[in-house]
Amino acid sequence: MGRHRWMRLSIMAASVSALLLVIDRTPALLAATAFFTALCGQSVKVTNDALVQSKIDDVFRGRVFAVYDVLVNGAIVTGALIAAWILPISGDTWVLPLMISVAWALVATILLRPKKFFLKGVA
């Protein structure tokens, strides 16, 4: 299947699972969405870790992983801050899951498109 196609598929699956919270926000649906989102996120992270291990020279690998971990952790904190800013006090809204779903769909279709990675003939 290939690394980039797998990442696109995983991010798109997370995008679809986030859309479920736009429709309804029950505890069971929230748990299912959290599970699938975490599964897709870990899938992308493991794929990216394998990419770094296979493509980065030993001399730079530790520094690249350090920067990568800081960026991932910073993105998680930034996401929590944005959610705290956007969410109403009750925490019940369909807007944030929709924004997240659209953002992930854009990442999967635009940033991870095959042409961006010079993968000719791969969709």
With respect to residue 123, please indicate whether it lies within any of the assigned structural domains. no
With respect to residue 29, please indicate whether it lies within any of the assigned structural domains. yes
Q: How many other C-beta atoms lie within 10 A of the C-beta of residue 11?
A: 22
With respect to residue 122, please indicate whether it lies within any of the assigned structural domains. no
Task: State the total domains in the chain.
Answer: 1
With respect to residue 61, please indicate whether it lies within any of the assigned structural domains. yes
Structure tokens at 26: 């029950």
With respect to residue 98, please indicate whether it lies within any of the assigned structural domains. yes
Give counts: helices (H), strands (E), the chain: 4, 0
pLDDT of residue 119: 54
With respect to residue 83, please indicate whether it lies within any of the assigned structural domains. yes
pLDDT of residue 78: 94
The Cα-based distances of 20 to 107, 113, 115 in angstroms read: 19, 25, 30
With respect to residue 41, please indicate whether it lies within any of the assigned structural domains. yes
- Where do we find the tokens 């705290």? 84
With respect to residue 32, please indicate whether it lies within any of the assigned structural domains. yes
**What is the residue-level pLDDT of the chain in tens, covering all 123 positions?**
777 788 888 888 899 888 888 888 888 988 988 899 889 888 988 888 888 888 888 898 889 889 988 998 998 899 899 888 888 888 888 888 888 899 889 988 887 776 766 555 554
Domain limits for position 45:
3-117
